[in-house]
């Protein structure tokens, strides 16, 4: 009976391990232009250039975790990352003119904008990095630059990480941190 129990437990562990296997991507998602990525999203306008004379803006660093570690340092657990960009101003738009993804070594992996985008009042958008894309690593991050032609309330820029494998799930939020302010005129 004890041998049967050990066999059953071994079989279950093997099945769970097989379900948890993930095939990592070694390169980022295909590059899309801002028009391809954002033109069909409500409240988003793709601009030909950043408006002149912004009066407010910030550079925001957003730490993301495309991989975290389980009980062993060499045993990674891949997560899907959703970078959320939300204009909190009820009356005025903001412009996002930089949206870059960096890996653990500080190398830019992908730039998501070839043209600036405008988020209308209370509009939001997101960038998703699939869990199979491990190019960022455990220390990945986004750099986001936004500007506004008039004074606005600061946007909310956060990342949500999530993964579900077998019957386990992990999710958490990582807020953006302002690392530079646009100089006042």
Nearest to 149 by CA among 64, 47, 79: 47
150 domain residue, yes or no: yes
131 domain residue, yes or no: yes
Give phi and psi for 161, each to the nearest 5. -110, 140
Lowest mean pLDDT among 14-18, 80-84, 146-150: 14-18
Flag whether pLDDT at 4 surpasses 90.
Answer: no
Q: What stretches of 21-166 adopt beta strand conformation (E)?
A: 44-46, 56-63, 67-69, 76-78, 80-86, 94-102, 108-111, 117-119, 124-129, 141-148, 156-165
22 domain residue, yes or no: no
For residue 45, give the CATH number of its domain: 2.60.290.11
Q: In this predicted model, which residue has the larger pLDDT, 170 or 104?
A: 104
Flag whether pLDDT at 148 surpasses 80.
Answer: yes
Give phi and psi for 148, each to the nearest 5. -145, 145
65 domain residue, yes or no: yes
Provide the domain count of the chain. 1
149 domain residue, yes or no: yes
> Which band of pLDDT confidence, cut at 50, 70 and 90, is reported for residue 29?
low
Whole-number Å distance between alpha carbons of 112 and 120: 19
CB 163 within 8 A of CB 64: no
For the chain, give the percent of residues with pLDDT over 70: 81
5 domain residue, yes or no: no
Lowest mean pLDDT among 23-37, 53-67, 160-174: 23-37
Whole-number Å distance between alpha carbons of 17 and 7: 15
Q: Which domain holds residue 43?
A: 29-181
pTM of the model: 0.80
């Amino acid at each position: 009976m004890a041998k049967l129990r050990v066999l059953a437990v071994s079989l279950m562990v093997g099945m769970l391990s097989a379900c948890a296997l993930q095939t990592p991507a070694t390169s980022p998602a295909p590059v899309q232009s801002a028009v391809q990525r954002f033109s069909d999203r409500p409240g988003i306008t793709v601009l030909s250039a950043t408006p002149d004379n912004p009066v407010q803006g910030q550079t925001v660093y957003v730490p993301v975790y495309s991989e975290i570690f389980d009980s062993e340092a060499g045993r990674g657990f891949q997560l899907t990352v959703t970078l959320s960009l939300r204009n909190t101003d009820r009356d005025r738009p903001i412009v996002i003119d930089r949206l870059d993804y960096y890996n653990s070594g500080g190398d830019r992996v992908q730039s998501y904008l070839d043209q600036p985008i405008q988020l209308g009042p209370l509009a939001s958008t997101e960038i998703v990095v699939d869990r199979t894309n491990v190019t960022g690593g455990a220390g990945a991050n986004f750099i986001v630059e936004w500007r506004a032609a008039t004074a606005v309330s600061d946007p909310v820029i956060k990342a949500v990480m999530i993964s579900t494998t077998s019957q386990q799930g992990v999710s958490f939020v990582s807020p953006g941190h302002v690392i530079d302010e646009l100089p006042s005129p």
